[in-house]
Chain A
Amino acid sequence: EVQLVESGGGLVQPGGSLRLSCAASGFTFSTYSMNWVRQAPGKGLEWVSYIDRGSSAIYYADSVKGRFTISRDNAKNSLYLQMNSLRAEDTAVYYCASGIPAAPRVSDYWGQGTLVTVSS
């Protein structure tokens, strides 16, 4: 059974940093592209970042470019999102999601999400 479990969320002050992790199991993680998608409370979905299976293609939303860094460790079946210079508008539930083999940029399996709250 495919499982994606996010962790690392919490309350952080504006300007602070957090590192989110996503532990994958039940599939061959190293062969799948991954996305981070966030959803602010009561709002719609916002794509945040993408990394292909070999970390050779990495993309970011303009809203996080220069502040967030996506990475993965295929040996540990893990995906990460380093978030720096956090702002109130980064408050959201952050989901990791695996790509569809036929359409790697499309999010197939999703974790349950981890809540990040940026507030003083």
Chain B
Amino acid sequence: DIQMTQSPSSLSASVGDRVTITCRASQGINNYLAWYQQKPGKVPKVLIYAASTLQSGVPSRFSGNKSGTDFTLTISSLQPEDVATYYCQKYNSAPFTFGPGTTVDIK
């Protein structure tokens, strides 16, 4: 099975900072990659699918990119409400594995 890794596992940044999270697939998955945000005590919310398509209603400061088997989620200007754990998920073929998550908080 294809393994999904994320880096870093956690990060702390200041409000207004540009934040980038990387997700790496052990094999090619084309662009079948989604990003989710889970705030503390809340259910997950999809931010991006197809590697770079912003889900309806998601702020434009979130963006996704793909380079080979590396995928990035970028928050262009970190806001206090972005404190959360972020997960990537591959869905090209089963199993639709999630990455281990990246926790983002405010410095």
- How would residues 57 to 79 of chain B score, 1 for a CB under 8 Å from any chain A CB and 0 otherwise? 00000000000000000000000
The secondary-structure label for the interface of chain B is loop
For A, the interface residue count at a CB cutoff of 8 angstroms equals: 23
Quick one: CB contact mask for B76-107 with A, threshold 8 Å, 1 for yes? 00000000010101010011111111000000
CA distance A110 to B53 in the complex (A): 19
- Asked if B55 contacts A107 (CB within 8 A), the reply is no
Give the size range of B's interface with the partner. Answer: 20 to 34
Q: Which residue of B lies closest to A45 (CB)?
A: B98
Q: Decide if B34 is an interface residue (CB 8 Å cutoff).
A: yes
Q: CB-defined interface of A105-120 with B at 8 Å, one 1/0 digit per residue?
A: 1111011110000000
B residues adjacent to A (C-beta < 8 A): 1, 32, 34, 36, 38, 43-46, 49-50, 53, 55, 85, 87, 89, 91, 94-101
User: What are the 6 A-B residue pairs with the smallest beta carbon separation, nearest first?
Assistant: A59-B94, A105-B91, A110-B43, A47-B96, A103-B49, A45-B98
Q: Chain A residues in contact with chain B, CB under 8 A?
A: 35, 37, 44-47, 50, 59-62, 95, 100, 102-103, 105-108, 110-113
